[in-house]
Chains A and B, each alone.
Chain A
């Protein structure tokens, strides 16, 4: 079979190219993106949003080496504007800089406690819709202070490195669980509640320290979990954990490091009554400090001590969450996967049911 020449090189190609060029010219090249030089940009890395008398107070900070036309050695560029809306505040910030302020690299979003109490949904909506911003930024609540204070507390080096380190530590389980704006937004839309890691200013001015978790109900801040309750929330959420339990075994001190936790929930049917929620938390731990290698019996004892401590933490966290009616770790949604029919009956008023449903907690500890 010989290939037939289909006339690809005929008059069609130049005609097509000429037509395309003509369309481009007639449209004033408006379909093409606008060119901007990166060297003339100030790349904002951290953004803080607070409630203000004007409406909303926005603060942005570049980190080191992201200062647009500024020379090396100068402090990070901090821009701030108070306006009625987020977009007008961002536009006002644009005019404050010698460089083009680019919001596409905002990796950290801090929300002040006051604004969180009013509602975070407008902020998340703006991030979701803006062309440059996105929901990939890490979301933090600033507890007991304004986000502007937190942003400016970074000083000359900015805040993004500190927050980036906290995020990496969170991924490894040695700091609070980090959450992106997208994850929180999704939880709010699907579950009606979400948890957000909180930061606090040490001594009222800085540096930033972890402040537990803020619990969002609807779109407003319901309260904070901290200490043992925050650990309980991390166990319920699952994933890598990095906390250490110091146990007293007789005269000897023994330290156990919790490595990870996996939590599963299921609905247990009880006739006509409200079904019970069974929560099974499997904890992997490792003995890190001990005088003599423990025997079989001692290991069991250590295991039961760890189990009791972790159970108490989970119970504490669940008690607070149930009091707010916020199943922010998605226990109900996970249990629904196995019993969709029962879930349909419970789904509508699950926040209220979550506060009343009997919960059976089972903690299984495996010590390496």
Chain B
């Protein structure tokens, strides 16, 4: 193959393995596959009646294969006595104990059935086969959601198994209106991806748009969340996440009840909810569990912390370097006293400390738990304190950066927090160029950027910007008492806005 041919885009081939099925062709497909197994058996010991059982070792569960397929083939006397012409039909209709049996005549479905954990039974002299599901069910058990801990509420979380995840949702939403449609994504991974929605509540256009985008994905495999997110979102260049996700089934179900459309991918232990608007990234699974006043106060704190985390470093640079007259006198005196003997400029100090904060955080994340904590303590406390004592950095800068950093951790969505961290750098640089003018221009640019984002046709800032033509939902900054929250959000185009009597 020439280099040009190798680099050229090629259409997805469906089916991937065209043509009729035969044992020889199947063996050819799985040539050089050490886990492909073929077992020759005599039906009830009759050497004139032979069958071949093919399976993928590790995908098929050996107990099931032995008990439900191989044992009846070897021990059932009827298989030796039935006329040759009726043998295949007998096997298909109940001679074996598997809960499903399917006749396959094409190569493509047979190959993928084996990969999914089924076994294929070939009778001598026939090219078609019977496929029996004997897949193994090895998977991680349902555990607690580590990223979204619950103090007052359910403690289960999604796992890597798609079907377990859909069952967790089905157990909470028992209505038959819960629809689950499956798509296969990835040329090589052939990952099942399920779209979930509540019929009569979710917007059919959003469902159709999501399915259309899923079908358009033509990649090798779905191994990480980004393999779906970056192909499904409207603005991949934006650092802001447009598809909120959760590990918690209760929060996922609440999203479906609000009229959003859910998405699961096999192998990824979380569920997405679309369309994603900015308020979704400030909500937690506990918002509806706490008293509405406490939940509202916490919500306001999270919004406030987002502003603090975003603006404090830039504001510090702008005020200390360009507009000292705006600082209260006593604070100014403290800053001046602390800044003496520090050899670096305020701008350099803040940017370096912001960078150091990210480095310490990254080092703490990449190392195992106990070592990570040690690195954080060493980096944050020991080195930070030593740097202040040695007049390398000013304590005021350290405080400003630490306040911004800690405020950033209040964000329920780490993706949103990461976007804010990137913009924090940008705003700090703009503030160091133009003081409050630069900071104000940066904030205007941020608002402009957020205002142009859309998630599945819904404005990202919809909770604040939908205007009068679109029915509003409930306030986004705080939570009303639940009996007063009678309406689903208007901007997400739900089919039924009233959610309670």
Contact = CB atoms under 8 A, between A and B. Distances in A.
A9 B452 contact: yes
Given A3-B459, A37-B339, A102 B322 contact: no
B324 A36 contact: yes
B203 to A, nearest CB: 9
A17 to B, nearest CB: 8
Interface string B417-457: 00000000000000011111110010001001001111001
Contacts of B394: 39
Interface centre among A9, A63, A71, A132 (most CB of B within 10 A): A9
Contacts of B459: 3
A1 B451 contact: no
Given A33-B434, A104-B325, A105-B332, A39 B339 contact: yes
A19 interface: no
Contacts of A113: none
Interface string A1-34: 1110110110001000100100000000001111
Contact of B336 (A2, A20, A66, A132): A66
B452 A8 contact: yes
B494 interface: no
B324 A102 contact: yes
B452 A13 contact: yes
A132 B435 CA distance: 16
Nearest to A41: B336
Interface string B332-346: 111111011010011
B284 interface: no
A1 B445 CA distance: 28
A279 interface: no
B78 to A, nearest CB: 62
B300 interface: no
Nearest to B490: A1
Contacts of A63: 333
B339 A132 contact: no
Contacts of B235: 9
A65 B322 contact: no
A63 to B, nearest CB: 8
Interface string A88-118: 0000000000000010110100000000000
A37 B325 contact: no
Contacts of A32: 433-435, 437-438
A54 interface: no
Interface in A115-147: 132
B458 A69 contact: no
B493 interface: yes
A269 to B, nearest CB: 50
B470 interface: yes
Interface centre among B340, B347, B437 (most CB of A within 10 A): B340
A38 B448 contact: no
B346 A37 contact: yes
Contact of A13 (B205, B320, B448): B448
A33 B431 CA distance: 10
Interface residues on B, range: 35 or more
Contacts of A9: 235, 237, 452
Contact of A45 (B324, B329, B346, B441): B329
Contacts of A41: 324, 336
Contact of A38 (B324, B436, B438, B469): B324
Contacts of B458: 3
Main secondary structure of the interface of A (DSSP, over half): loop
A104 to B, nearest CB: 4
B32 to A, nearest CB: 47
B166 interface: no
B335 A38 contact: yes
B325 A105 contact: yes
Interface residues of A, number: 34
B22 interface: no
B150 to A, nearest CB: 35
A157 to B, nearest CB: 13
Interface string B308-336: 00000000000011111100010011111
Contacts of A45: 329
Contacts of B333: 43, 63, 65-66
A2 B493 CA distance: 8
Interface in B457-497: 457-459, 469-470, 493
A244 to B, nearest CB: 32
A41 to B, nearest CB: 6
Nearest to B438: A32
B336 A36 contact: no
Nearest to B432: A35
Contacts of A37: 321, 339, 345-346
Given A32-B437, A104-B325, A2 B448 contact: no
B437 A33 contact: yes
Contacts of A132: 325
Contacts of B457: 2-3, 5
A68 interface: yes
A32 B340 CA distance: 26
Interface string B176-202: 000000000000000000000000000
A20 B438 CA distance: 12
A41 B337 CA distance: 10
Given A33-B437, A38-B324, A43-B332, A65 B452 contact: no
A281 to B, nearest CB: 36
B205 A2 contact: yes
Interface of A: 1-3, 5-6, 8-9, 13, 17, 20, 31-39, 41, 43, 45, 63, 65-66, 68-69, 71-72, 102, 104-105, 107, 132
7 contacts: A8-B451, A8-B453, A36-B321, A37-B346, A38-B321, A65-B333, A102-B325
Given A17-B445, A36-B321, A66-B336, 20 more contacts: A2-B493, A3-B457, A8-B452, A9-B237, A13-B452, A20-B441, A32-B433, A37-B346, A38-B320, A38-B321, A38-B324, A38-B336, A38-B346, A41-B336, A43-B332, A43-B333, A66-B333, A69-B340, A104-B324, A104-B325
Interface of B: 205, 235, 237, 320-325, 329, 332-337, 339-340, 342, 345-347, 394, 432-438, 441, 445, 448, 451-454, 457-459, 469-470, 493
A-B pairs, top 5 by smallest CB distance, nearest first, are A8-B452, A39-B339, A104-B325, A32-B434, A33-B322
